[in-house]
Amino acid sequence: MATASPTMQPVESRQRLSELFGLHYRRVLMAAYRITGSMADAEDVAQGVFLRLTTSDEFAVSNAASYLYRAAINGALDLLRRRTAAASEPLELALGVASQGLGSRPEAEVASSQLVQYLRTALSELSPRAAEMFTLRYVEDLDNREVAALMHTSQAVVAVTLHQVRSKLKKRLTEMERGKR
């Protein structure tokens, strides 16, 4: 039985990791940034995603691009859960809702900023799978078919989950708004 040279495997692993990093780092970074709203946090998430690959065989998965993209989203959502009160750049830039139709009045900007913070907090309270589906659909702007393919489920499951998540978020955001007054 022939075995691979001990010095050959680490070199091949480093080359594969370097290749994956070169191909996917920007997408991983931007997915994390759109969720966290902070480039520093996004860089930490991206670094963590690729660092985990150095200690495992995860980069041998059949669809590395999909795996890394989902890992970035999950890492960013995990970060939000750990830092529900963290100060960061506005999520509304990623969602494209920055004061649309509200003008540039200071009170409109404050209200929008508060809504984004409420949304971050509410997202951190969802189950990881539900938060990931919501993020893929509404932050990453994928359609239900694409979300279903990435998450290895049916479009019907995605549609039902998203409906439930929207209801929960609406209820939670209303509770937060009432608690502010």
| Bigger pLDDT: 55 vs 84 | 55
Predicted confidence (pLDDT) per residue in 46-65, tens digit: 998 888 877 766 556 678 88
Residue 67 confidence (pLDDT): 87
Higher-pLDDT residue of 67 and 85 is 67
Beta-carbon contacts of 122 under 8 Å, excluding residues fewer than 6 positions away, are: 168, 169, 172, 173, 176
Query: Hey, what domains does the chain have and what are their CATH numbers?
Result: 11-89 (1.10.1740), 93-181 (1.10.10.10)
Residue with tokens 């998203």: 162
Question: Residue 7 pLDDT more than 50?
Answer: no
Higher-confidence position of 93 and 176: 176
CA pair distance 89, 78, nearest whole angstrom: 17
Q: How far apart are CA 76 and CA 32, in angstroms?
A: 5
The mean per-residue pLDDT over the stretch 90-113 comes to 53
- Cα(38)–Cα(108) distance, integer angstroms: 22
Q: What local confidence, expressed as pLDDT, does residue 111 receive?
A: 65
Q: What is the pLDDT of residues 163-178, one digit of tens each?
A: 999 888 888 888 887 8
Q: What is the pTM of this model?
A: 0.58
pLDDT of residue 57: 61
